[in-house]
């Protein structure tokens, strides 16, 4: 590799890491309290470390890199901060002029304040538990002194169980939302109590991976942020190497089409391609988490054009991370930073949206994955930071949910990808548990594979899987993003 090629490569990596840091900083800004998810804080630290590392390499190559702080929000200005000196110019050391920003101690002070607030909250919870325990003890003593109550019959017991459920349904209030957001109608909740049933862990077996090991010079190689979607026996992938990359692959991993997109803000250019979806007519949609817009492939010119952004009637997007398309061509977008789902018609007209920030029914905390059961017209959403899967009809009416934070069967740690097979079964990429789970449409756990105790790069192991797709031949394709590969599985014979 020549010196200029290495310089170009490092400049591209610097832009990618700054774009990643910009996304993470915007995500952190969504949290107004003292708590920020550890995954975001860890990602920010890692992105800053990557920026410092690349700057150091560029300086070693003779490139003048302005000493911007590593948490610079405006990643789009990064290209203007890198200057290649002319051959006759005398190279001077980087400027050491102080930058008028808060000293590093500000972040440390904020972290200490956050920690103090966290411990204060824990202390309050402990006191509350003690008080409730004393109250419960007094109540039990009173009950012991009460005369014995008659034992209810089976019919009366059944009625007592059903009454609260119907009451919950009838008193469920719509989510408070801005004018654009569609209120959620009351429905009878689905019984999700079976989601914690014991899941078999040996129902699926490994078939192959892309790229194969060992890989050859003609095999595709993936970069960061790998996502994959299966359509008509082809895999559509998006990832980032030096620039955003969008490709169509055969299921054996050979590149059928590489759209050769570029970094930038123009049409056909991307900041960070982080979701891809394909409609029944072959139209390809890509979500750009940096430029906050959706681009669609123009079939006549084979180039991407802006399809939905802040001018589309839905308001501005904020870090859209997933796209799903139903049998009528309607497009559903997980507008992650705005904690909502947005629906468009096939011709790009805004239909409605639903959701707001929170943990109640129909609310979201960083919704990441979305999938549509085209037979039942049901929409499943991976509500990532609430560690649950929510179920809606195709107009946004709440149908049910399952999941909780944890490593047990039917529990999640930041679920990100969700997919539905032809039988209506739901597959979830349980990202921070490094595993895949399979459920019925009502939340009963059917199968699982992967290791919740640790990440791994061996056969059948995962490191932060992002998406999962199911073929009509029952093959399962998992974008094992942290390992930069796609693993393929099938039901064990």
Give the per-residue pLDDT at 30: 74
CB 83 within 8 A of CB 91: no
Give the per-residue pLDDT at 139: 66
Give the per-residue pLDDT at 202: 80
Give the per-residue pLDDT at 185: 44
Separation of alpha carbons 62 and 67, rounded Å: 15
State the CB neighbour count (10 A cutoff) for residue 393: 14
Q: Phi/psi of residue 110, each to 5°? A: -65, -40
Q: Which of 425, 490, 480 is nearest to 210 (CA)?
A: 480
The separation between CA 218 and the C-alpha centre of its own chain, rounded to angstroms, equals: 30
Pairing between β-strand 269-270 and β-strand 262-263 as defined by DSSP bridges: parallel
CB 421 within 8 A of CB 412: no
Write out the chain's pLDDT in tens, 493 residues: 567 777 877 777 788 778 888 887 877 777 666 667 767 777 788 788 888 887 888 777 777 665 445 544 444 434 434 444 444 444 444 444 444 444 444 556 666 666 677 677 777 787 777 877 777 776 666 555 544 434 333 333 333 333 333 333 333 333 333 334 444 444 444 444 444 457 888 889 999 999 998 888 889 999 999 999 999 999 999 999 888 999 999 999 999 999 999 999 999 999 999 999 999 989 999 999 999 999 999 988 999 999 999 888 888 999 999 999 999 999 999 999 999 999 999 999 999 999 999 999 999 999 999 999 988 899 999 999 999 999 999 999 999 999 999 999 999 999 999 999 999 999 999 999 999 999 999 999 999 999 888 899 999 999 999 999 999 889 999 999 999 999 999 999 8
CB 468 within 8 A of CB 476: yes
Listed in sequence order, the residues at least 6 apart from 317 whose beta carbon sits closer than 8 Å to its beta carbon are 292, 293, 294, 308, 309, 310, 333, 335, 337, 338, 342
Separation of alpha carbons 73 and 24, rounded Å: 10
Give the per-residue pLDDT at 370: 98
pTM: 0.64
Give the per-residue pLDDT at 362: 97
Give the per-residue pLDDT at 40: 78
Give me the helix-helix angle, 3-29 and 38-60, nearest 10°.
160
Listed in sequence order, the residues at least 6 apart from 380 whose beta carbon sits closer than 8 Å to its beta carbon are 370, 371, 372, 373, 389, 390, 391, 418, 420, 426
What Å distances lie between residue 272 and 68, 216, 408, CA to CA?
22, 27, 33
In this structure, what token pair is assigned to residue 338?
A: 């705005």
Give the per-residue pLDDT at 93: 46
Q: Phi/psi of residue 277, each to 5°? A: -145, 155
């Amino acid at each position: 590799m020549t010196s200029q090629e290495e310089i170009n490569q490092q400049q591209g990596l610097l832009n990618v890491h700054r774009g990643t840091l910009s996304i993470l900083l915007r995500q952190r800004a969504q949290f107004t309290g003292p708590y920020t998810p550890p995954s975001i804080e860890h990602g920010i630290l890692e992105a800053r470390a990557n920026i410092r590392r690349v700057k150091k390499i560029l300086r070693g190559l003779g490139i003048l890199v302005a000493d911007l702080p590593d948490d610079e929000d405006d990643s789009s200005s990064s290209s203007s901060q890198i200057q290649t000196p002319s051959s006759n110019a005398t190279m001077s050391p980087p400027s050491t002029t102080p930058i008028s920003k808060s000293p590093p101690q500000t972040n440390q002070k904020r972290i200490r304040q956050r920690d103090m607030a966290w411990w204060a909250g824990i202390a309050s919870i402990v006191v509350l538990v003690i008080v409730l325990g004393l109250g419960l003890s007094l109540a039990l003593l009173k009950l012991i002194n009460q005369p014995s109550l008659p034992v209810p019959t089976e019919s009366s017991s059944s009625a007592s169980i059903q009454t609260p459920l119907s009451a919950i349904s009838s008193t469920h209030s719509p989510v408070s939302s801005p004018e654009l957001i569609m209120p959620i109608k009351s429905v009878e909740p689905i019984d999700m109590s079976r989601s914690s049933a014991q899941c078999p862990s040996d129902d699926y077996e490994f078939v192959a991976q892309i790229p194969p090991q060992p890989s050859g010079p003609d095999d595709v190689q993936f970069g960061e942020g790998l996502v994959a979607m299966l359509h008509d026996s082809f895999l559509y992938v998006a990832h980032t190497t030096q620039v955003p990359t969008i490709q169509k692959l055969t299921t054996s991993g050979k590149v059928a089409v590489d759209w050769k997109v570029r970094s930038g803000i123009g049409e056909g250019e991307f900041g960070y391609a982080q979701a891809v979806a394909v409609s029944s007519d072959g139209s390809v949609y890509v979500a750009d988490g940096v430029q906050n817009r959706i681009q669609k492939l123009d079939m006549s010119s084979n180039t991407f054009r802006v399809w939905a952004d802040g001018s589309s009637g839905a308001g501005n997007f904020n870090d859209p991370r997933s796209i799903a398309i139903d049998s009528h061509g309607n497009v559903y977008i997980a507008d992650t930073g705005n904690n909502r789902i947005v629906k468009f018609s096939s011709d790009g007209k805004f239909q409605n949206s639903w959701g707001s920030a929170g943990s109640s029914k129909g609310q979201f905390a960083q919704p990441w994955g979305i999938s549509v059961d085209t037979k039942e017209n049901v929409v499943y959403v991976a509500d990532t930071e609430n560690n649950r899967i929510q179920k809606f009809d195709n107009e946004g009416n709440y149908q049910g949910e399952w999941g909780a934070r944890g490593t047990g069967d039917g529990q999640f740690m930041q679920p990100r990808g969700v997919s539905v097979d032809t039988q209506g079964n739901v597959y979830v990429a349980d990202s921070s548990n490094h595993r895949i789970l399979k459920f019925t449409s009502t939340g009963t756990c059917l199968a699982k594979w992967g290791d919740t105790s640790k990440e791994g790069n061996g056969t059948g192991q995962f490191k932060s899987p992002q998406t999962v797709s199911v073929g009509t031949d029952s093959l399962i394709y998992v974008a094992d993003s942290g390992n930069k590969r796609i693993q393929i599985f099938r039901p064990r014979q």
